[in-house]
Amino acid sequence: MIIATFNANSLRSRLDVVLPWLEANQPDVLAIQETKVQDVDFPLDAIDDAGYRVVFRGQKKYNGVAILSKEPVTNVLAHLPQDTTDQARFLKAKVGPVTILNTYVPQGMAVDSDKFEYKLNWFRWLREYIDKNHTPDEPLLWLGDLNVARTEIDVHDPKRLWGHVCYCQPVQDALENVMDWGLTDVFRNFYPDEPDHYTFWDYRAINALAQNRGWRLDYLMATAKLADTCKRCWIDKEPRGWNKPSDHTFLVAEFEIA
């Protein structure tokens, strides 16, 4: 079972990347963040033609999440109950035995902003949600754009970037607190202590991708039961068919699970 995650920065603008990637890689599941499309305008036909079922939750202009799957999807929940602002950042679905929590965690804007406080709260709400509704012995996968670089090897310039909303002590603590529930960083399991593995390159910075000035902000966080079945995990930097400067890329894992 191949499961992937991708921040699209507008799904409709990135169909020319997503559709060929689906065709070439045939994942069982692709979780997408920042679809940036209202549900009424979701590109259902294109996804259907690619051979995928899809559940989604979007809103105008910002955020938006979707889960594409070859197999039927059940147990769908389209908002994090504790988050009363309802910003289309959370989508839960079950595919086969695996519960998938697809999230677009708030970026946070600035550490002294209300949005940063919202970001920290968001992690707390997620921890509360899984505490109440799941157990660590289930095959569960929390994935998506988590907007946190976990450690100094997850950013290209840790000295300069320390204090950024995606790389500072409060967000690292907030993320680890969710992981403490019983989740493991699947990619890091395969490449412990190796720097220079990134999933995001800021397209506003000149040559960020070419010089690998990136961040690791996207994750597959699995319970032990699921992580133990993971045979490989990789960041797919191949789909450079972007007609615009790149942003996030695909993070993929293969699980040996029915």
8 three-state secondary structure = coil
Closest contact distance (angstroms) between CB of 177 and DNA is 21
Three-state secondary-structure class, residue 21: helix
Token digits of residue 5: 């995650």
203 is catalytic: no
- CB of 63 vs DNA, minimal distance in Å: 8
Nearest approach, Cβ of residue 60 and DNA (Å)? 5
Closest CA to 200 of 221, 220, 216, 219: 216
Least distance in angstroms from the C-beta of 230 to DNA: 27
For binding to DNA (CB under 7 A), which residues are involved?
A: 9-10, 12-13, 36-38, 41, 60-62, 106-109, 115, 160, 202-206, 244-245
Give the phi and the psi of residue 49 in degrees, each rounded to 5.
-65, -25
For the question of residue 198 being annotated catalytic, the response is no
CB closer to DNA out of 14 and 92: 14
For residues 27 and 106, which CB has a smaller minimum distance to DNA in the complex? Answer: 106
Annotated active-site residue in 28, 52, 104, 247: 104
DSSP class of residue 88 equals: S
Q: Give whichever of 234 and 242 is closer to DNA, judged by the CB atom.
A: 242
Using the minimum distance from each CB to DNA, give the nearer residue, 118 or 234: 118
Long-range contacts of 151-156 (CB under 8 A, 24+ apart): 153/193, 153/194, 153/195, 153/196, 154/198, 154/215, 154/216, 155/214, 155/215, 155/216, 156/196, 156/198, 156/212, 156/213, 156/214, 156/215
Catalytic residue among 28, 52, 129, 145: 145
Supply the residues annotated as catalytic.
104, 145
